[in-house]
């Protein structure tokens, strides 16, 4: 995968990060980094701690230990402040306000409607439609368009493909790829479909039993390597579930 030219030094880092709920760590001693202009896939079987890690990086959960670093500095701010600072977050649940129109949903973001529609022209003829009447794919386009239109430096994406048709998923991932290459946006992608994730990403981390077990470059050899890793010890990709 060819990436945009990246600046030296990670944009977002986890250093010996412990993530979880209350005193229970679902992810332990996590070290990962994300650079400008690249897509990094965070892979692993159900229950590995992927969503918990992503939520902690985004500030939706406080770190239980270790640290999150943004542009070289430790941060412990909540989600809304990290969003203002340039970190976009797309959770597993589609974050649209169903009673508002598509246009009004876009206006809730920090970008403009024209930029969002340029990213997804499919939204233009339905700007006045209530978001609750959209298909799942249209809602996910709306969510991603609103996020990217604000020009985030990094985007954390959780299970973008969940429950969507392959053609819709392909469009969503292509838009993320374009954002990485054309604007230098860094993307950390939690994705259950291994082969699809490796096709769009530059690097990957494998999270199993709450720890980073392996990491590497997204290439043809990685597909076979990761398929074996998923299936050993009784693990299986299975149906995507919240970790």
Q: Per-residue pLDDT for the chain (243 aa), expressed as one digit of tens each?
A: 544 444 578 999 999 999 999 889 999 999 999 999 999 999 998 889 999 999 999 999 999 999 999 999 999 999 999 999 999 999 988 789 999 999 999 999 888 999 999 999 999 999 999 999 999 999 999 999 999 999 999 999 999 888 888 999 999 999 999 999 999 999 999 988 888 899 999 999 999 999 999 999 998 788 777 876 664 544 444 433 333
The H-or-E segment that residue 179 falls in is helix 166-183
Asked if residue 73 belongs to a domain, the reply is yes
Domain harbouring 103, CATH code:
3.40.50.300
Give the Cα separation of 58 and 38 in Å (integer): 18
Instruction: Name, in order, each residue with C-beta under 8 angstroms of 223's C-beta and a sequence gap of 6 or more.
Output: 194, 195, 198
For the record, the structure tokens of 77 come out as 């701010």
Give the Cα separation of 219 and 67 in Å (integer): 30
Asked if residue 2 belongs to a domain, the reply is no
> What residues pair up with 32 in beta bridges, in sequence order?
14
Domain count, the chain: 1
Give the Cα separation of 120 and 113 in Å (integer): 11
Asked if residue 3 belongs to a domain, the reply is no
Q: Is 198 within 8 Å of 204 (Cβ atoms)?
A: yes
Asked if residue 5 belongs to a domain, the reply is no
Domain that holds residue 197: 12-234
Closest CA to 58 of 24, 95, 23, 100: 95
Asked if residue 93 belongs to a domain, the reply is yes
* pTM recorded for the entire structure: 0.88
Task: Please give the backbone phi and psi of residue 100, each rounded to the nearest 5 degrees, phi first.
Answer: -95, 160
């Amino acid at each position: 995968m060819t990436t945009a030219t990246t600046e030296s030094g990670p944009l977002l880092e986890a250093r010996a990060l412990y993530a979880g709920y209350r005193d229970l760590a679902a992810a332990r001693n996590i070290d990962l980094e994300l650079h400008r202009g690249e897509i990094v896939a965070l892979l692993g079987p159900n229950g590995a701690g992927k969503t918990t890690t992503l939520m902690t990086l985004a500030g939706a959960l406080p770190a239980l230990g270790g640290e999150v670093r943004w542009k070289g500095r430790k941060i412990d701010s909540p989600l809304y402040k990290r969003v203002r600072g340039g970190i976009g977050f797309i959770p597993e649940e589609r974050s649209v306000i169903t009673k508002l129109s598509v246009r009004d949903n876009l206006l809730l973001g920090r970008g403009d409607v024209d930029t969002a529609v340029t990213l997804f022209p499919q939204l233009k003829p339905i700007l006045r439609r209530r978001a609750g009447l959209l298909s799942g794919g249209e809602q996910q386009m709306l969510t991603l368009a609103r996020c990217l239109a604000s020009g985030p430096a990094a985007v954390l994406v959780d299970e973008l493909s969940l429950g969507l048709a392959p053609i819709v998923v392909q469009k969503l991932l292509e838009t993320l790829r374009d954002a990485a290459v054309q604007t230098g946006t860094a993307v950390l992608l939690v994705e259950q479909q291994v082969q699809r994730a490796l096709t769009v990403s530059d690097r990957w981390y494998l999270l199993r039993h709450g720890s980073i077990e392996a990491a590497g470059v997204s290439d043809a050899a990685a597909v076979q390597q990761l398929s074996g890793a998923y299936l050993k010890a009784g693990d299986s990709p299975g149906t995507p579930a919240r970790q």
